[in-house]
Structure 1
Amino acid sequence: MPVGHPNGTERPNLTAHGYVLQRMRQAILDGELPSGSRLIQAELAQQFDVSITPVREALRDLAGEGLVVFDPHRGSRVRSFDLGEVQEIYQIRMALEPLMVSRMIGQVDADRLDEAARLIRKMERTKDINVWSDLNRRFHACFAEEGRTSRLATILSGLRDSASVYVGLSLRASPERRAESDREHTQILEAYRRGDTEAATRLAVQHMRTTLVTIEEAHERGLL
């Protein structure tokens, strides 16, 4: 399926790898490349008018984001939606997030709180779901432990990355959820500013639970 230059426009001021990654991500999240679509490197390179290398690098990045899977016999393909996997991701996150909150409450410095506030403002302004999803992931990372020594942070970071795929898809199916989610982000930030462990925990878990329900409802309506 063709996913070359959108609307006949030329490639923007990005590296070949950056452009292919941007367009592939957009095509998958927009449904231009449906679940299960095979991704043949040579064909993609021809469509994007680039060499094989940036295509291979972009596919590797997309696999890391959970958008693409590698099959040793069939090559790369767009990841199929799996409701059971989504539910498991969120169940694990809801079980582990209270532990992260208890570790981080009172430890998040003013710079990170201010960065979280800036990210909320950017989410409220943008109309691009891809951009919003990335900002959303960065927002939640503001309240996580830093460094490679935290196994909890590593686990939750991987789960957030896996969930971001489904968050983007669900927001396209239920765009009204965006404003609600932005309000929840503000409430979570305010709880951290107050150092309120109970509120921060409750809000974080409820935020994830509501997102999961949105995904489940979109799936029931046949939109995912």
Structure 2
Amino acid sequence: MKHMLNYGDGPKAIYEILKRQIIAGELEPGNELKIMPLAKEMDISIVPLREAIRMLAAEKLVELRPRRSPIIARLDVRDLVEMNQIRGALEPIILADAIPRHTDETLKECEKVLKRTTKVKDPWEMVELNKDFHLAILGPTRLKRSLEIVSDQYDGIARLTQFRVITHEEQLGKLHDEHAGIFEAAKRGDVDAAVSEMTHHIDQATTRAANELNSEDQSDDTSGEHAS
């Protein structure tokens, strides 16, 4: 897990490295982050490392514990469902407001992101493009506070879960097809169709992610039974 950081790199750089390791599964849920050994391994001081860990805790990727080492947060299906309930409630409303305000330029930006998803094989990049597409298609809305709330749901544990779902290769095509349906309806100015496509897309995302987490839980339980 050795990473070369330039002198003067602050907590943000350390945070980005640790976040990617967590999302990629290199740091597994339940594992402790022992501050002193980790600082030595990364060749950094403790102060920016602690700050980076606090930043990860704010995204619920790390769980802070009094007088004990922090741990990588465990994924909770209830958290995931709640996050997608927020998306499911707000994104269709935001999209309905955004569609009449799209211009040729904003639609071209959405299409640009969509085309990039057809060429991407890296799950990490696909997770980033997923967020980019949603924020682009919702971007022209006047409902900026709601948009900010939605944007927050694409970070932290949600991003980790998306990475694990997208890692399954067949999901890459499904994600693109669902985005394409939303885009085509938005491009036609068909609010009802776009909202219907978005609602279906979020429902499907919730189901896929919940299945992924439940299958991991069952795998963990089975491993525990075998170990005992």
Question: What range is the shorter-chain TM-score in?
Answer: 0.7 to 0.9
Aligned to 2:159: 164
Mapping 1:105-184, distance limit 5 Å: 105-145=99-139, 150-162=144-156, 163-172=158-167, 174-184=168-178
TM-score (norm 2): 0.80
Deviation at 1:63, TM superposition (A): 3.4
Mapping 1:18-29, distance limit 5 Å: 20-29=14-23
Amino acid at match of 2:2: G
Mapping 1:198-217, distance limit 5 Å: 198-217=192-211
TM-score (norm 1): 0.82
Amino acid at match of 1:155: I
Deviation at 1:60, TM superposition (A): 3.9
Gapped runs of 5+ residues in structure 2? 221-228
Q: 2:27–2:72: 8 Å Cα contact kept in structure 1?
A: yes
Q: Percent of aligned positions with the same letter in both sequences?
A: 28
Q: Is 2:87 the counterpart of 1:93? A: yes
Amino acid at match of 1:211: A
CA RMSD between the two structures: 2.8
Q: Is 2:56 the counterpart of 1:44? A: no
Give per-residue Cα distances to partners, 1:37-87, cap 9 Å, x unaligned.
Answer: 222333222111223344344334433444223334435321111011111
Amino acid at match of 1:196: D
Amino acid at match of 2:96: S
- Structure 1 range deviating more: 176-185 or 113-122: 113-122
Aligned to 2:226: none
Q: Distance between the aligned counterparts of 1:57 and 1:120, measured in 2?
A: 36
Indicate the structure (1 or 2) with the bigger Cα radius of gyration: 2
Amino acid at match of 2:53: L
Q: Distance between the aligned counterparts of 1:148 and 1:71, measured in 2?
A: 40
Alignment length (residue pairs): 216
Aligned to 1:74: 68
Aligned to 1:33: 27
Distance 1:11 1:154, change over 3 A: closer
Aligned to 2:182: 188
SS class of match (2:71): strand
Aligned to 1:58: 52
Q: 1:129–1:168: 8 Å Cα contact kept in structure 2?
A: yes
Deviation at 1:196, TM superposition (A): 0.9
Distance 1:78 1:192, change over 3 A: same
Aligned to 1:4: 2
Distance 1:179 1:54, change over 3 A: farther
Deviation at 1:146, TM superposition (A): 6.8
Distance 1:57 1:195, change over 3 A: farther
Gapped runs of 5+ residues in structure 1? none
- Structure 1 range deviating more: 193-202 or 41-50: 41-50
SS class of match (2:27): coil
Give per-residue Cα distances to partners, 1:111-137, cap 9 Å, x unaligned.
Answer: 322222222232332322222111211
